[in-house]
Chain A
Amino acid sequence: MSARSFIAVLGVLAVVGLLVFGLASKGSSGVAVGEVAPDAPLPQLEGGGTESLADYEGRWVLVNFWASWCIPCRAEAPALEEFQRRHGGPRFTVLGIDTRDLSGDGRAFVEKYGLSYPQLRDGDGNAGDEYGTTGVPESYLVDPTGKVRLHALGPVDEEYLRNEVEPWLLKGQS
């Protein structure tokens, strides 16, 4: 193969490689039920530290993506807080992730609804993209080994938490 042909083939391979990379990175469809949940560290909404899902290994975690500008998130916040008060502890927690939101607005939301569960910040929305969220709110129940057991699109309510989430926690106790 002549040097010219080699350069041409190299150029074509580079273009094809870029196209494949572009399609692969666009085509990631997030996490499905049964798969391991992403656990990249995120900054805490209040305070300067970072946390990740890995910090909750050994606990059931209800990961809840929300934003202060999202109206359905306002509707579900009291139900989540109530569920946390009843079940929160060494075996379970709700973990809020404030996504594509202003941190000041997020903190005001937490204060307004008296949310006591831990809150992380996902300002650029990358964590939401990794999970494959299509909007807010969305929730994922993650088991103590880090696998997703439930995925709720849209707001969760008391009935969903009691009928869908609670059985997993009770199953985990027995």
Chain B
Amino acid sequence: MRVRLVLVAVLAFAALAPVAAAEQRASLVEIEKQVMCPVCGTLLQLAESPQALREKAFVQRLVEEGRTEAQIKDALVAEYGEEVLALPPDSGFSLSAYVVPIVAFLIAAAALAAGVWRWRKAGGGPKDGGTPRAAGPSGEDADRLDADLARYDL
């Protein structure tokens, strides 16, 4: 029983350890996809300017020091300000960058649903719920149409 427990614990550790390590380990390749070159206005990954090369060297040094991704991004923000982040942080006023589009979408969807509901209520759709039928000509128009069709009768 005890041997089995130890075996389970070892297997669990072996399974979880790489996940934990991956969360902690940062790499230049991953970080340069998430931060900007402030001078070039592009992702650091795409930039080759002298400033970008210095920024990459700075990130590489912090990676070698064993800093986590979050720590490296914090260090970049301390140097260049929040504009260095390719995506705005999900806190404070920057949170609005994520929330506003969702709220706008929900409002638009609600307005559309309300509009459809009112249109249906006002009798806009077919009364029996089936496919709407086009109203045909009536009176003088119908007579003229019949006469025209008769003339072109094949």
Contacts and interface: CB of A to CB of B under 8 A. Distances in A.
A99 to B, nearest CB: 9
Contacts of A125: 38-39, 80-81
B51 A123 contact: no
Contacts, number: 37
Interface in A70-109: 70-71, 100-105
Contacts of B83: 124
A126 B80 CA distance: 10
Contact of A71 (B50, B53, B58, B81): B50
A73 to B, nearest CB: 11
B80 A69 contact: no
A67 interface: yes
Given A100-B38, A102-B58, A124-B38, A67 B80 contact: no
Interface residues on A, range: 10 to 19
Q: Interface majority SS on B: helix, strand, loop or mixed? A: helix
A64 interface: no
Q: Give the bracket for the number of chain B residues in contact with chain A.
A: 10 to 19
A68 interface: yes
A102 B54 CA distance: 8
A22 B39 CA distance: 21
Nearest to B58: A102
- Give the top 10 A-B pairs by smallest Cβ distance, nearest first: A124-B81, A69-B50, A69-B51, A100-B38, A69-B54, A123-B80, A123-B79, A100-B39, A102-B79, A102-B58
Interface of A: 67-71, 100-105, 123-126
28 contacts: A67-B51, A68-B54, A69-B49, A69-B51, A69-B53, A69-B54, A71-B50, A100-B38, A100-B80, A102-B54, A102-B55, A102-B58, A102-B79, A103-B79, A104-B58, A123-B78, A123-B80, A123-B81, A124-B38, A124-B80, A124-B81, A124-B82, A124-B83, A124-B84, A125-B38, A125-B39, A125-B80, A125-B81
Interface of B: 38-39, 49-51, 53-55, 58, 78-84
